[in-house]
Structure 1
Amino acid sequence: MGVFQRCKPLLGVVHLPPLPGSTGYKARRYPPRLGKVWSLEEIIEYAVSEASVYEDAGFDGVILENYGDTPYPKTPGPLQVSAMTRIVREVSSAVGIPVGVNMLRNGSVEALASAYSGGGSFIRVNSLCETRLSPEGILEPDAARLAKSLALLGILEERRIEILADVDVKHSQPLVETSIAQTVRDCIERSGVPIAGVVLTGHATGGAPDADEVVAAARTASEYEVKTVVGSGVSQLNLSKYWHIADGFIIGSSIKLGGKPWNPIDKEKARLIASLAERLRRITEGC
């Protein structure tokens, strides 16, 4: 993952309120209790503020996610994409760390469009290579759409925007059971997309993945010089557990106020986990 300056980067998630084009925009309170209804200008201000907290705490990157856009369409609409593009642009201009995009539920091309036009550095794709059964319906692999868009933009040659691909993504189930190692291998070999890292998660937001599965995924991914990222459930309590078996960490719920993804960042928790990561780097060979 060459867009990050340090080994084993920490990537913080900004869980955005409902965006224009979603059913909740200017209609649903966010957070659900004691929250408010957000305009686009307020969302932008919030995103910049939260991203700046991550940067000040010592994180290495930030992911902007349309978390508040429930119920998620399988692919986001043009209003959501245009809003996200503007948010990416404003956040990228305000912070000095790489900015990424995750468009729920499985908008790989939409995330690419926002990152490419907004100045982002990477995207996260929930179902690049697998067919998954989810609350939003059957998620079909998005690799063909993404590969075509990458080719049209010339990014296959530039590699300007890196791709993190979930495997066995949370809030979904496989239609056919297979091993995590085989899933990783198939995704890297057959997607036609230059994957920078595979992402392992628990079964739900805030849930940690099985350590043995992370080991198996990392062993297979390393054969192709692809990194492995723990994408949910990472906290100050278990970072050391995953440190030597993963190459990066996506952190959100555990450092939010009350442990809820829709709440603002707890600045002290963010600072403490970033400090722990820095201490671990000092004793890690190659960091």
Structure 2
Amino acid sequence: MGVFDKCKPLIGVVHLPPLPGSTGYRTRRYPPRLGKLWSLEDIIEYAVSEASVYEEAGFEGVILENYGDTPYPKNPGLMQVAAMTRIVREVASRLNIPIGVNMLRNGSVEALASAYSGGGSFIRINSLCETRLSPEGIIEPDAARLAKSLALLGILEERRIEMLADVDVKHSYPLAETNIAQTVRDCIERSGVPIAAIVITGHATGGPPDTDEVVTAARTAAEYDVKTIVGSGISQLNLSKYWHIADGFIIGSSIKLGGKPWNPIDKEKARLLASLAERLRRITEGC
């Protein structure tokens, strides 16, 4: 993951309020209790503020996610993409760490469009290679769409935008029995997309993955020089447990006020987690 300056980066998630084009925009309160109705200008300032907290705490990257856009379409609409692009541009212009994009439910091309035009450095894809059953319906792999878009834009030659691909993504289920090692192998070999890292999560937002599954996935990915990121459930209590297994960490719920993803960041929790990561780097060979 060459876009990050340090080994084993911490990537903080900014869970955005409902964007223009979603059913909740200016009609649904966010957070759900005692929240407000957000305009696009409000969302932009919130995104910049929350992303800045991560940077000041010592995180190595930030990922912007359209978390508030429930019910998620399988692919986000034009207005959501346009809004996200503007948000990415504002955040990227004010911060000095890499900015990423995740467009729920499975908008890899839409995330790429926002990152490319907004100045982002990486994207997260929820289902690049798998067919999954989810609350949003059957999610089909997005590899063909993404590979075509990468080729058309010539992104890999122009500048680096790295691809982080979920495997066995949370809030979804396989349609048949799967093997994590073979799933990782198939995705890397057959997607046609240059994957910088696979992402392993628990079964739900804020839930940690099974350590044996992370070990198996990481060993398989390493055969192809692909990194492994733990994408949910990391906190100050368990970072050390996963530190020597994974190559990076996407963190959100555990450092939000009350442990809820829709709440603002708890600055002290973010600072303590980043400090722990820095101490672990100092005793890790190669860091």
- In the superposition, the TM-score normalised over structure 2's length comes to 0.99
| Separation of aligned partners in 2, 1:280 and 1:88 | 30
TM superposition shift of 1:157: 3.1
Residue 129 of structure 2 corresponds to which residue in structure 1? 129
Residue 263 of structure 1 corresponds to which residue in structure 2? 263
Residue 154 of structure 2 corresponds to which residue in structure 1? 154
Residue 65 of structure 1 corresponds to which residue in structure 2? 65
SS of the residue aligned with 1:164?
Answer: strand
TM superposition shift of 1:158: 4.1
Amino acid at match of 1:283: I
In the TM superposition, what whole-angstrom CA distance separates every residue of 1:12-46 from its partner, at most 9, and x where no partner exists?
00000000000000000000000000000000000
In the TM superposition, what whole-angstrom CA distance separates every residue of 1:207-257 from its partner, at most 9, and x where no partner exists?
000000000000000000000000000000000000000000000000000
| Separation of aligned partners in 1, 2:275 and 2:196 | 25
Residue 285 of structure 1 corresponds to which residue in structure 2? 285
In the TM superposition, what whole-angstrom CA distance separates every residue of 1:183-230 from its partner, at most 9, and x where no partner exists?
000000000000000000000000000000000000000000000000
Conservation of the 8 A alpha-carbon contact between 1:229 and 1:247: yes
| Separation of aligned partners in 2, 1:157 and 1:181 | 30
In the TM superposition, what whole-angstrom CA distance separates every residue of 1:69-101 from its partner, at most 9, and x where no partner exists?
000000000000000000000000010000000
| Separation of aligned partners in 2, 1:134 and 1:56 | 36
Conservation of the 8 A alpha-carbon contact between 1:206 and 1:253: yes
SS of the residue aligned with 2:62?
Answer: strand
Residue 187 of structure 2 corresponds to which residue in structure 1? 187
Residue 274 of structure 2 corresponds to which residue in structure 1? 274
TM superposition shift of 1:271: 0.1
Amino acid at match of 2:209: P
Conservation of the 8 A alpha-carbon contact between 1:208 and 1:232: yes
Amino acid at match of 1:56: E
Structure 2 residue 51 is the aligned partner of structure 1 residue 48: no
SS of the residue aligned with 2:150?
Answer: helix
| Separation of aligned partners in 2, 1:187 and 1:116 | 23
SS of the residue aligned with 1:75?
Answer: coil
Conservation of the 8 A alpha-carbon contact between 1:86 and 1:118: yes
Conservation of the 8 A alpha-carbon contact between 1:134 and 1:173: yes
- In the superposition, the TM-score normalised over structure 1's length comes to 0.99
Residue 117 of structure 2 corresponds to which residue in structure 1? 117
Amino acid at match of 2:271: R
| Separation of aligned partners in 1, 2:103 and 2:190 | 23
Residue 196 of structure 1 corresponds to which residue in structure 2? 196
Structure 2 residue 81 is the aligned partner of structure 1 residue 81: yes
Residue 104 of structure 1 corresponds to which residue in structure 2? 104
Residue 224 of structure 1 corresponds to which residue in structure 2? 224
Q: How does 1:28-43 map to 2 (within 5 A)?
A: 28-43=28-43
Which stretches in structure 2 are left out of the alignment for 5+ residues? none
Residue 211 of structure 1 corresponds to which residue in structure 2? 211
TM superposition shift of 1:156: 3.4
Conservation of the 8 A alpha-carbon contact between 1:156 and 1:194: no
Residue 94 of structure 1 corresponds to which residue in structure 2? 94
User: How many residues get paired?
Assistant: 287
SS of the residue aligned with 1:85?
Answer: helix
SS of the residue aligned with 1:2?
Answer: coil
| Separation of aligned partners in 1, 2:4 and 2:41 | 29
TM superposition shift of 1:177: 1.2
In the TM superposition, what whole-angstrom CA distance separates every residue of 1:139-174 from its partner, at most 9, and x where no partner exists?
000000000000001023345100000000000000
Which stretches in structure 1 are left out of the alignment for 5+ residues? none
Residue 237 of structure 1 corresponds to which residue in structure 2? 237
Identity %: 88
SS of the residue aligned with 1:217?
Answer: helix
Moved more, 105-114 or 170-179: 170-179
| Separation of aligned partners in 1, 2:94 and 2:115 | 15
